[in-house]
Structure 1
Amino acid sequence: MAKQNDREIQKSARKHTSSKARARGCFFWFLLIFVITTFLGGKFLNEKYIVARKAADSIYSPSKQKKTRNVSQLLKAGRPISILMMGTDTGALGRDFKGRTDTLILAVLNPTAKKMTVVSLPRDAKVAVYGYEDAFPSKLNSAYEYGGSLTAVETVQKYLNVPIDFYATINMGGLEKLIDAVGGIEVDPLLTFSYDGQSFTKGQKTKMNGKRALAYVRMRYDDPRGDYGRQDRQRQVLTQVAFKGADVSNLLNEKFLKTISKQMVTDLSFNDLILLGLKYRVATHDMQTDSLNGQSQMIAGQSFEVPTTSEKQRVTDLLRAALALKKAQTGNTLTDSTTIDTTQD
């Protein structure tokens, strides 16, 4: 009986030793595979990183604006931030680019609330352009033509009394290429119409390539809401492009990166963009859209859009709440003060 027990113990020991050996063997092969894939993946990601870095550096164009808030601190803390998106359809986006912004959209990303607030601003809004007050009345879309992104940002800030943390200018003429580079977008048309050889049906979701999307956003005169309707469609398309562009597969897509480097300028640095990708993507899960509406007025032979004070205050309240700021009176571009209220709620 004792010999039998010894044999069983030895057998069990051999089995245990064999299991340990197999485990060590499996671990070795796992470790080898892990090292190889990590090396290859690291090399792949490093190459993609270099391409992404070059693209980000090529579109980076600081406005030389003295920010109203410490934007680096805001990004690191994951606080709500605002971005003024401007779309222009005049020429190519070279560094000496001049022109008017036909599209002005103020977006607020709030990662804590997991919400994105997007407000369209009328391009023909009557304003006194920051630094060019002697040209009053001017149209809001002329601010970029007068003094570039800095002037546009300062004018919108003063107009609404809302801090603008960053800007991004997109060449709407190059929007077609951007949309094709991200593989197209899906949009629910807001109305039924045909334009430039393309037809759209209200509420019928459709996959749009660049050419189709460009026709969708350019139609103006057949829209019952005129330019306000076109703003809504532009906002739809631009936000979809932004969502697709923020996808990891597109951030590693060399075609997309090369395309965007030719069609966009921004004062978001590469490090800022990384923080946006890490901390703010969750804000795109829920999007609230709105627009600042005005009434048409003919002044000195020009047509302006003039929102009421209550309408401007409504939009100011909406944006400040999204930024987690205390309520404050809406802005006025004719005042001497350039102070923007940044008091947190």
Structure 2
Amino acid sequence: MKNRNNRPRRVLEDSYVDSNRGQRFKNEESYDYEEYNNYDNNSFEDYDYPYDSYPRKKAKKNKVFSLNLIVSLVFLTFIWVLGLFYYPTRLLITIIYLSLLLISVFIRLSKKAVLAKIISCILMLVNIGFVGSFIFIYLYADFNLRSTNIDGVRANPNLYKDYSYNIFISGFDNEGSINTASRSDVNILTSVNMKDKKVLLTTIPRDTYLPIALGGQNQYDKLTHAGIYGVESSMKTIEYALKTPVEYYFKINFTSFIDIVDVIGGIDIDNEYEFTAWNGVHFPAGKLHLNGEQALSYVRERKSLSEGDIGRGKHQQQVMMAIADEIASPKNLFRYPKIVRMLKKSIATNIPTRVLFNTAFEYGKSSKFEVEREYVEGYGQRGLPSFAMPNHNLYMYVPYEESLEKVSTNIRNLLNN
């Protein structure tokens, strides 16, 4: 017989047995005398009834910590496998995440259980929100930007393991679809060294007289005509002329340039001197905020500039860095989905999402990037043969060999450092 606590009742003591002895004799036929004698002689011991011990309560699992751990491991695995963030930053993020997990453990062990649960839940929600948003934005950008390599140009093997690389910026002189082949009026080679936090912008004027690769059959012509044969022709032409590998390209036209500037909310520049553009837009000296249309007028004008085409090249470099500043700015964080959609529609590039992300992140978090500017120097001449337009008396910009060599040396020094 068991009591309500599920324990076996102990054998009745002698006093209780004696008081009920009469009742026991009434049922002698079924009575166990040997058992009674044991009671009577006080020689019995408590019956050893087998029974189970108290069931132990299972320890409650810390679901909040487990979820935090899973989310954190997913995030850390994601950035390490894809190589997001450069190594020092990636290692620091890993240490911070592991430290936060330890803090959450100590919080759960706190005597103030209610407060500990609240803080742990807050940490969990912040972690899930950040990791989920980060992975979604990256994968969304990667999915959309993969389709923009419309020219099918494969990136050269990167000699500097992503820390240093060249990006060819090509600006086409047409409107509408980026798929339309046209002349390349803007030709800027952007050399990036992420370790030293340096950027070198090298402008090669559109009329520079060079052997045109691929479709140009290595015949001499002005650089702008290389764009007719495709962006890879321009890349190879510059690669041979400056003796440096050109891994990536970024191609835009008039329409996409306007879209880029407008979607980031305009750009801020410091105009060196007053001038009026070819379409009547006036630009006073000083700090200016430009929308897409104004920025396009600013970078296309050359005749009213004291330095002519050289001045136009400087304006193009200036605007390009202003766009980079705005894209990397934290205030445009919530515009990234919109920016990505615009880029998918308006640009062509073979830059991997990982490289774009790492470059934008490092540039955005650092205020110590040193930006240098180069310009291929030369002289103007007419009457030189043109492969694309024979029998035409075209203006050509013949580069000085020493200028090409100087630019080539500066690019190699920046990348190798």
**TM-score w.r.t. structure 2 length?**
0.65
1:140 to 190, 213, 223: 223
Would you say the 8 A contact 2:166–2:192 is kept in 1? yes
Structure 1 stretch 128-137 or stretch 175-184: which is displaced more?
Answer: 128-137
1:227-246 equivalent positions in 2, closer than 5 A: 227-246=309-328
Residues 1:166 and 1:295: Cα distance change in structure 2 (over 3 Å): same
Residues 1:134 and 1:237: Cα distance change in structure 2 (over 3 Å): same
**How big is the shift at 1:172?**
2.9
Which residue does 1:27 correspond to in 2? 116
Which residue does 1:170 correspond to in 2? 252
SS in 2 for 1:162: coil
Which residue does 1:286 correspond to in 2? 370
Residues 1:280 and 1:201: Cα distance change in structure 2 (over 3 Å): closer
1:70 aligns with 2:162: no
Provide the rounded CA distance (Å) in 2 between the counterparts of 1:174 and 1:121. Answer: 21
Residues 1:212 and 1:54: Cα distance change in structure 2 (over 3 Å): same
Which residue does 1:98 correspond to in 2? 181
Would you say the 8 A contact 1:63–1:149 is kept in 2? no
Provide the rounded CA distance (Å) in 1 between the counterparts of 2:233 and 2:351. Answer: 17
Which residue does 1:86 correspond to in 2? 170
SS in 1 for 2:171: strand
Which residue does 1:320 correspond to in 2? 412
What are the superposed Cα offsets for residues 206-259 of structure 1, whole Å, 9 maximum, x if unpaired?
111212212211222111222221111111112211232234553652222222
Would you say the 8 A contact 2:175–2:254 is kept in 1? no
Which residue does 1:48 correspond to in 2? 137
Provide the rounded CA distance (Å) in 1 between the counterparts of 2:205 and 2:317. Answer: 12
SS in 2 for 1:74: coil
Provide the rounded CA distance (Å) in 1 between the counterparts of 2:177 and 2:342. Answer: 12
**How big is the shift at 1:321?**
1.2
Structure 1 stretch 215-224 or stretch 98-107: which is displaced more?
Answer: 215-224
Name structure 2 gaps, 5 residues minimum: 1-108, 385-392
1:267 aligns with 2:332: no
What are the superposed Cα offsets for residues 325-345 of structure 1, whole Å, 9 maximum, x if unpaired?
xxxxxxxxxxxxxxxxxxxx7
Residues 1:94 and 1:66: Cα distance change in structure 2 (over 3 Å): closer
What are the superposed Cα offsets for residues 58-101 of structure 1, whole Å, 9 maximum, x if unpaired?
3234644572x435x611xx2x2111111112133444x20011
Residues 1:56 and 1:85: Cα distance change in structure 2 (over 3 Å): same
Which residue does 1:16 correspond to in 2? none
Provide the rounded CA distance (Å) in 2 between the counterparts of 1:37 and 1:133. Answer: 56
Provide the rounded CA distance (Å) in 1 between the counterparts of 2:144 and 2:329. Answer: 16
**How big is the shift at 1:275?**
3.5
**TM-score w.r.t. structure 1 length?**
0.78
Residues 1:323 and 1:200: Cα distance change in structure 2 (over 3 Å): same
Residues 1:316 and 1:52: Cα distance change in structure 2 (over 3 Å): same
Would you say the 8 A contact 2:172–2:254 is kept in 1? yes
Structure 1 stretch 175-184 or stretch 284-293: which is displaced more?
Answer: 284-293
Structure 1 stretch 151-160 or stretch 241-250: which is displaced more?
Answer: 241-250
- Highest RCO, 1 vs 2 (Cα 8 Å, sep ≥ 6): 1
Provide the rounded CA distance (Å) in 1 between the counterparts of 2:122 and 2:351. Answer: 38
**How big is the shift at 1:118?**
0.6
Which residue does 1:37 correspond to in 2? 126
Which residue does 2:239 correspond to in 1? 157
Which residue does 1:7 correspond to in 2? none
Residues 1:270 and 1:66: Cα distance change in structure 2 (over 3 Å): closer
SS in 2 for 1:205: strand
Name structure 1 gaps, 5 residues minimum: 1-18, 325-344
Provide the rounded CA distance (Å) in 1 between the counterparts of 2:214 and 2:263. Answer: 38
- Structure whose alpha-carbon radius of gyration is higher: 2
Percent sequence identity is 23
SS in 2 for 1:317: helix
SS in 1 for 2:320: helix
SS in 1 for 2:214: coil
Provide the rounded CA distance (Å) in 2 between the counterparts of 1:303 and 1:190. Answer: 28
Which residue does 1:215 correspond to in 2? 297
Would you say the 8 A contact 2:258–2:296 is kept in 1? yes
Provide the rounded CA distance (Å) in 1 between the counterparts of 2:253 and 2:348. Answer: 9
Would you say the 8 A contact 1:60–1:269 is kept in 2? no
Q: CA RMSD in A?
A: 2.6
Which residue does 1:119 correspond to in 2? 202
Which residue does 2:36 correspond to in 1? none
Provide the rounded CA distance (Å) in 2 between the counterparts of 1:280 and 1:41. Answer: 21
Structure 1 stretch 135-144 or stretch 83-92: which is displaced more?
Answer: 135-144
Provide the rounded CA distance (Å) in 2 between the counterparts of 1:198 and 1:165. Answer: 37
**How big is the shift at 1:103?**
0.2
One-letter code of the match for 1:194? T
Would you say the 8 A contact 1:48–1:252 is kept in 2? no
Which residue does 1:297 correspond to in 2? 381
Which residue does 1:107 correspond to in 2? 190
Residues 1:101 and 1:235: Cα distance change in structure 2 (over 3 Å): same
Corresponding residue pairs, total: 298
**How big is the shift at 1:138?**
0.9
Structure 1 stretch 238-247 or stretch 305-314: which is displaced more?
Answer: 238-247
Would you say the 8 A contact 2:299–2:319 is kept in 1? yes
